[in-house]
Amino acid sequence: MMDPEAARTARDSLDLAFHVSNILETGLDRHTLSILIALCEMGLNPEALAAVVKELRQESASSVSATIGAPLNP
């Protein structure tokens, strides 16, 4: 279990990162941002993570576009 001071520091760091994320209009929610930060802390390449996030967003947008353009089944 994390000591209270470390927990407060982690929470403050996440709050700051989330604020910067909002200023940059990344569209990341607090939970997703915390997961991405944890992955970076584990040694994953931040640029690779960013590429994955972008790709997932593109796939999601394509999926939504395909669904919107699909004919309705009566």
* pLDDT tens digits, 17-41: 999 999 999 999 999 999 999 999 9
The distance in angstroms from the start CA to the end CA of the chain is: 55
pTM of the model: 0.76
- Using the Cα atoms of residue 58, residue 50, residue 26 and residue 34 in order, give the sign of their dihedral: positive
pLDDT tens digits, 37-63: 999 999 999 999 999 999 999 998 888
Specify whether the CB–CB gap between 17 and 37 falls below 8 A: yes
Domain ranges in the chain?
Answer: 4-68
